[in-house]
Amino acid sequence: MPPALPSATQAHPTFQDVLVARNVIRRYLAPTPLHNYPALDPVVGAQLYIKHENYHPIGAFKVRGGVNFMAQLDDETRRRGVVTASTGNHGQSIAFAAQLFGVRAVIVVPEGANAVKVEAMRSYGAEVVFHGADFEACKRHCLTLQEEEGLRFVSSGDEPLLIAGVATHTLELLETQPDIETIIVPIGGGSGVAGACLVAKSINPAIQVIAVQAAGAPAAFLAWQARAWRTASINTFAGGLATGEPFMMPQQILWEHLDDFVLVEDDELRVGVRLLLEKAKTLSEPAGAASLAAAIRLRDQLRGKKVALILSGGNISPAELRQCLDAEIPANL
Catalytic residue among 51, 62, 117, 139: 62
Helix (H) / strand (E) containing 65:
helix 62-71
Are the C-beta atoms of 116 and 316 separated by less than 8 Å? Answer: yes
Are the C-beta atoms of 93 and 156 separated by less than 8 Å? Answer: no
Cα-based distances in Å from 167 to 110, 265, 310: 27, 26, 11
**Maximum distance among all alpha carbons in the chain?**
58
pLDDT computed for residue 9 by the predictor: 44
pLDDT computed for residue 5 by the predictor: 47
Of 188, 209, 165, give the one whose Cα is nearest residue 288. Answer: 188
Residue 62 among the catalytic residues: yes
What is the C-alpha to C-alpha distance for residues 127 and 117, in angstroms, rounded to an integer? 13
CATH 3.40.50.1100 domain range(s) in the chain: 15-60+161-325, 63-158
pLDDT single digits (tens) 114-131: 788 899 999 999 999 999
Catalytic residue among 202, 284, 312, 317: 312
pLDDT computed for residue 78 by the predictor: 95
Are the C-beta atoms of 234 and 216 separated by less than 8 Å? Answer: yes
**DSSP strand pairing (47-52 vs 34-36):** antiparallel
pLDDT single digits (tens) 137-155: 999 999 999 999 999 999 9
What is the C-alpha to C-alpha distance for residues 4 and 214, in angstroms, rounded to an integer? 25
Q: Does the domain spanning 15-60+161-325 belong to CATH 1.10.940.10?
A: no
Q: Does the domain spanning 63-158 belong to CATH 3.40.50.1100?
A: yes
Can you list the residues of the chain whose pLDDT is less than 50?
4-5, 7-9
